[in-house]
Structure 1
């Protein structure tokens, strides 16, 4: 086919010269990703972070295409020599393009409330015979749907392909770090993508990086650390996520309560969302869902007769995040002091407070017994041997296994407002503010009753 080129602010050009890829892009299932934001609610903090999972998926395809072109220089000559198997190119590129196909709206909040799993839905969408994606894949190779689904499941027999899609330094992470940095306006999420690809070498059961380029790999690790610290774990974004979680929890509670009482619930949620509330969503119904589906319902709930649901919907739509304070093992016990004050001020702590922990590691060693084991980064030595990254880099060694992020306690911003003279609630707010001052839980002013 004649090459198709997509303009892209991160990669400049995205090249498509395989008719299969172009047909997959045009499927209903892939086009749906245009309507799902990559960063969920982060645009309430970083106002230009409006990019979609569609653009990210195209980006992962492009990174994988560049990697495949590079690895062809190291093609396998004999079975088992660890070289790149050129015939795996198509599986790699298709898996890269489709890896996020099963994401729902506001992905991680959505999954926790409605008990879904985007990786499982991705596999099911690819394998479902009625879907356009499956039919396109079958037209080119009847074994392709099963192969691609196994890459997503991390069970594919070629571990090099799996590592390029899902590891501590893969095409997915490399695109989303660069893309999220660009659209959030951050400058600390950038690294030398071209150099990292140039350093890649196929090895038995994986991918390694030339020792001479260790500084470039270190830069990638630091970039990932900084993006999580400054963007992904931003406290205001987390405050909006808490509001979204609570309002969906409240909606679910009301829906189930009305079902038990056999009250008419036809107008409580739109038809496309009802299967989720009943935990019985089919693939076809799932594919009808996008960010607009959730927003449509939240707009309805804003006018609900249930005051909690209506008020939480207002806070989400009008960007009224919960405030937060960092908590530690030394200060956590003071939460028992401030919760009653929040209740006394008229807020239901079930829906207006939350303990939210957001932690990750910049780099971790491989622990095969772990539930979500992370593959380690291997550096290819001049003699052909492999050495794990942290044994070669003092910088990475210092970060290895260390968690970053924090635990925060979220509460209504009204608890920090200055009260006017004569306000009957002023003593409650004043008491709360003795414990919480300048964004910290100081806990040095015990109540008179203590």
Structure 2
């Protein structure tokens, strides 16, 4: 019997017993995830956050494995053991379609990591497909349907994608550990013991409710303190502007980009294949950025230098209705000699820590349900005043990003910069 052990700082021993799972780990598409950072640009703020999508996906698999093994043992009447492999494979592969600096890259080039994940799973040319199809001819499509939430068993789907699932639980614990903060810590073991499969999906026992509360608070804190950190967002904005400039220059300087960044050409042309996508990773992109530091275009070379050497933008929060002020500040930046299209930005980050099921909204969330001792099932916020406070309320802010140079009013543009500075007070924009 196969048994492989992966040592992991979050889960200690990650055991792989199924040869299909082990062979999936060894595919080139999954191994590519070693070269994709889990947190993208966040490591520029929290320097320990250098962990990869590879380690996260292994962690998600491990949590899913623990879930299905317990369900098979404790709830054989409501959990079918034949669902084990599709659940574990879906957990392992749920992020296999993530790319270099994935979220920033997606916004600029229109890629979709979930669609690409499904393509990797179902494309006969990939090693992932060739492993999955050994199970059965329709097994690749079954795993893909877990990713796109069309798999017929809601228990399987909710274990991989819901408001409290294997994915979220691993990334909160893992990101907390590597960024050196304590916000993302919660009692994983207690939550797993309180999970129960029912006909409509997954519920939690009443005795595990406080562990679930703790998880939701941890999630809220991680978003507010780590994922939405102003400096992390600043380097993300800088990366966006750098790629914006390269994309804008491509048509008139095609030969330059053919020489310095050939793997990006299909994306500049909006005509990429799955093979093109899989050639990109964070290391490839970083090499291109360093090459662009010597570009003859002053904006591209400057932005590349700022990104590579972490010369990040400053920022201030603003409220709705201040659009005229933002335009005025952009005009000041232009008067100093910087193109506001590349040296200022508006960045919005908001999160809904928890919400009840609202079928009328786009992409409605599953809700967390607690089963009572008498068998009745109640939505979590009906039982928890703490969760009721978080439910239905978005948290976050909008920030205006600009060059740090605008705060250095000791040059020929001192008057203009003083006017700019006068609109910033206590990290907020004021009229």
TM-score range, shorter chain: over 0.9
**What stretches of structure 2 of length at least 5 have no aligned partner?**
none
Q: Is the CA contact 1:188–1:227 (under 8 Å) kept in the aligned structure 2?
A: yes
Query: Match for 1:429 among 417, 425, 428?
Result: 417
1:146 CA drift (Å):
0.6
Asked if 1:62 corresponds to 2:62, the answer is yes
Moved more, 323-332 or 136-145: 323-332
1:76 CA drift (Å):
4.6
- DSSP-derived class of the 2:66 partner: helix
- DSSP-derived class of the 2:316 partner: strand
Moved more, 384-393 or 134-143: 134-143
Question: 1:191-206 to 2 correspondence within 5 Å?
Answer: 191-206=186-201
Asked if 1:97 corresponds to 2:92, the answer is yes
- DSSP-derived class of the 2:263 partner: coil
TM-score (norm 2): 0.97
Tell me how many residue pairs correspond in the alignment: 431
Task: Write the deviation string for residues 77-125 of structure 1: whole angstroms up to 9, x where unpaired.
Answer: 3xxxxx1111100000000000000001101001011110000000001
Task: Write the deviation string for residues 210-266 of structure 1: whole angstroms up to 9, x where unpaired.
Answer: 01221111000000000000000000010000010011011111113446xxxx455
Asked if 1:286 corresponds to 2:280, the answer is no
Moved more, 159-168 or 280-289: 280-289
Q: Hey, what does 2:233 align to over in structure 1?
A: 238
Q: Is the CA contact 2:250–2:257 (under 8 Å) kept in the aligned structure 1?
A: no
Q: CA RMSD in A?
A: 1.3
Asked if 1:15 corresponds to 2:15, the answer is yes
Q: Hey, what does 2:144 align to over in structure 1?
A: 149
Q: Is the CA contact 2:247–2:268 (under 8 Å) kept in the aligned structure 1?
A: yes
Q: Is the CA contact 2:409–2:415 (under 8 Å) kept in the aligned structure 1?
A: no
1:173 CA drift (Å):
0.2
1:269 CA drift (Å):
4.4
- DSSP-derived class of the 1:140 partner: coil
Asked if 1:179 corresponds to 2:174, the answer is yes
Rounded to whole Å, the distance in 1 between the matches of 2:129 and 2:329 is: 54
Query: Match for 2:211 among 210, 216, 234?
Result: 216
Q: Is the CA contact 1:436–1:442 (under 8 Å) kept in the aligned structure 2?
A: yes
TM-score (norm 1): 0.93
Rounded to whole Å, the distance in 2 between the matches of 1:146 and 1:336 is: 49
Rounded to whole Å, the distance in 1 between the matches of 2:328 and 2:158 is: 48
1:65 CA drift (Å):
0.6
Q: Is the CA contact 1:273–1:293 (under 8 Å) kept in the aligned structure 2?
A: no
Q: Is the CA contact 1:127–1:146 (under 8 Å) kept in the aligned structure 2?
A: yes
Task: Write the deviation string for residues 265-303 of structure 1: whole angstroms up to 9, x where unpaired.
Answer: 553542222111111111112111100121121112111
Q: Hey, what does 1:376 align to over in structure 2?
A: 367
Q: Hey, what does 1:166 align to over in structure 2?
A: 161
Q: Is the CA contact 2:158–2:201 (under 8 Å) kept in the aligned structure 1?
A: yes
Query: Match for 2:357 among 334, 348, 366?
Result: 366
Which segments of structure 1 move beyond 6 Å, counting only runs of 4 or more? none
Q: Is the CA contact 1:109–1:244 (under 8 Å) kept in the aligned structure 2?
A: yes
Q: Hey, what does 1:295 align to over in structure 2?
A: 286
Asked if 1:304 corresponds to 2:292, the answer is no
Q: Hey, what does 1:4 align to over in structure 2?
A: 4
- DSSP-derived class of the 1:275 partner: helix
Q: Hey, what does 2:379 align to over in structure 1?
A: 388
- DSSP-derived class of the 1:130 partner: coil
Q: Hey, what does 1:53 align to over in structure 2?
A: 53
Q: Is the CA contact 2:258–2:265 (under 8 Å) kept in the aligned structure 1?
A: no
Asked if 1:131 corresponds to 2:126, the answer is yes
Rounded to whole Å, the distance in 2 between the matches of 1:252 and 1:195 is: 49
Question: 1:36-47 to 2 correspondence within 5 Å?
Answer: 36-47=36-47
- DSSP-derived class of the 1:350 partner: helix
1:330 CA drift (Å):
5.8
Q: Is the CA contact 2:99–2:280 (under 8 Å) kept in the aligned structure 1?
A: yes
Rounded to whole Å, the distance in 1 between the matches of 2:210 and 2:121 is: 38
Rounded to whole Å, the distance in 1 between the matches of 2:301 and 2:161 is: 40
